[in-house]
Structure 1
């Protein structure tokens, strides 16, 4: 289950809004046509402290269902993920890299995962990278999505997803496998040093509730997967979510939890909802 949170998490343009967004993770969605407000919350998929604050717990209490990027409560999710892990057309990591490069990755994965790169030879390389995420933490892995689900289950409310596992895994097919392999090789050569530095900066920005800073950090990242593919990772998915969000909030007050990088920017969820006439305001 941990890898489901990691993969969902790493699917999270420069900020295009002339008006700077407030530093907040929790946002209230309202309009004259809605009898009750819904809420939008920026999550982080791996952290040392996933505790939810009082405002967030109240928002969960005031809503009637939880939407995450994926329906993480779906018992078939793991099988769906395994079904879509492999690269298309028989592509292999061992052919995307030279024999020397593949050995570097192999030694690295044996050291950090106690598994050979041969085990993951047909896997999309970025998925292998997500499996290394716990190594960036100096603590036990925690997930904000998991905490949101715990509260929702106690409330005996439904957990749903904005997209299907198949759709999310296709994102890894849209990003060139060669680029993914090169980034995995870079990680192996640096033995996670650059990734650990970037992750610490991301955690700090998240703790500061700086959602615009998180988006800018993605744009400036040395990792080409995130810095050169924001239309695939963020923008197109944000646009796909808006009709679902609008239809849902018209039916019942709902709590939406998505990666915090999806919130800010001209093509972020907050601005896209505002363009549709909804009031989206920070909850302090």
Structure 2
């Protein structure tokens, strides 16, 4: 079960690669009228070591603003997230599964979050899975995005988002709640030990900087929930980001930092920018 790992790497898709991409998480964007280059960086949203690669630090120094998937520096971020955490139309997790499975999930949540499922009954199951993510780590959790924000503020530069919090939260309305709940039940049945092992594999693949290996890892998953909803989870989002990336890069040299899974593939940000006429090359 890798629903959670798809979220950690940026809501993966399993679209094939017609162009082989170099192994890199940092890419330089130039050409097509840009006066100065911008940079693209693939992140992993939680990690044991959020130290920034020297190439990322160089990209930060060479640019004048930071774009994340959402503006994590927004003071109203938490309130906006809470507004989108509930399922629509009064739906409840307890109505989606058997009594035994709901109890299993409730015990699992009580152990790992300190609260039973009855208190979270109206929450979107996929978001509950994200709340459990830190428990998968055998270390204090760190955030690459937070390190990027810290460095950006030290340079007295601004932070922006490629999409709104509301749009990102709405992703969990586009995937049927029943499918999300099934994944949460599976997680409760498997336990965190298996999740921790999977996380170690994912971390190793991320560190390899092989964008195709990231997609292949997810493509081996038994559950195809994310593949079945790739249009909403990845393709449409990437396509909606391109005009914003173009506008920002033309105005100001920018570092764009998004989940690593958004970079590769036919509908990934790298090839979409190349199709628009930009030179996008790996920073070695």
Common fold by TM > 0.5: yes
Alpha-carbon separation, structure 2, partners of 1:199 and 1:225? 19
Taking a change above 3 Å as real, the CA distance of residues 254 and 275 of structure 1, as seen in their structure-2 partners, is same
Instruction: Please report how far the alpha carbon of residue 227 of structure 1 lies from its aligned counterpart in structure 2 after TM superposition.
Output: 3.5
Question: 5+ unaligned residues in a row in structure 2: which ranges?
Answer: 1-5
SS of 2:28's partner is strand
Taking a change above 3 Å as real, the CA distance of residues 117 and 50 of structure 1, as seen in their structure-2 partners, is same
On the 8 A contact 2:10/2:258 being kept in 1, the answer is no
On the 8 A contact 1:220/1:227 being kept in 2, the answer is no
Instruction: Please report how far the alpha carbon of residue 210 of structure 1 lies from its aligned counterpart in structure 2 after TM superposition.
Output: 1.2
SS of 1:132's partner is helix
Taking a change above 3 Å as real, the CA distance of residues 112 and 133 of structure 1, as seen in their structure-2 partners, is same
SS of 1:222's partner is coil
On the 8 A contact 1:10/1:130 being kept in 2, the answer is no
Q: Kindly indicate whether residue 252 of structure 2 is the aligned counterpart of residue 265 of structure 1.
A: no
Taking a change above 3 Å as real, the CA distance of residues 194 and 232 of structure 1, as seen in their structure-2 partners, is farther
Q: Could you say which structure has the greater relative contact order, defined with CA pairs below 8 angstroms and 6 or more residues apart?
A: 2
1:231 corresponds in structure 2 to: 231
Instruction: Please report how far the alpha carbon of residue 170 of structure 1 lies from its aligned counterpart in structure 2 after TM superposition.
Output: 0.8
Alpha-carbon separation, structure 2, partners of 1:53 and 1:140? 19
On the 8 A contact 2:68/2:159 being kept in 1, the answer is yes
Q: Kindly indicate whether residue 24 of structure 2 is the aligned counterpart of residue 24 of structure 1.
A: yes
Computed over aligned residues only, the root mean square deviation of the Cα atoms, in angstroms, reads: 1.6
Alpha-carbon separation, structure 1, partners of 2:13 and 2:114? 37
1:188-199 residue pairs with structure 2 within 5 A?
188-199=188-199
Alpha-carbon separation, structure 1, partners of 2:134 and 2:79? 22
Alpha-carbon separation, structure 1, partners of 2:141 and 2:75? 21
TM-score (norm. length: structure 2): 0.94
1:41 corresponds in structure 2 to: 41
TM-score (norm. length: structure 1): 0.94
Taking a change above 3 Å as real, the CA distance of residues 96 and 15 of structure 1, as seen in their structure-2 partners, is closer
1:103 corresponds in structure 2 to: 103
Q: Kindly indicate whether residue 221 of structure 2 is the aligned counterpart of residue 221 of structure 1.
A: yes
1:3 corresponds in structure 2 to: none
1:1-284 residue pairs with structure 2 within 5 A?
10-284=10-284
Size of the aligned set, in residue pairs, is 279
Alpha-carbon separation, structure 2, partners of 1:94 and 1:131? 18
On the 8 A contact 1:219/1:228 being kept in 2, the answer is no
On the 8 A contact 1:183/1:224 being kept in 2, the answer is no
Taking a change above 3 Å as real, the CA distance of residues 134 and 52 of structure 1, as seen in their structure-2 partners, is same
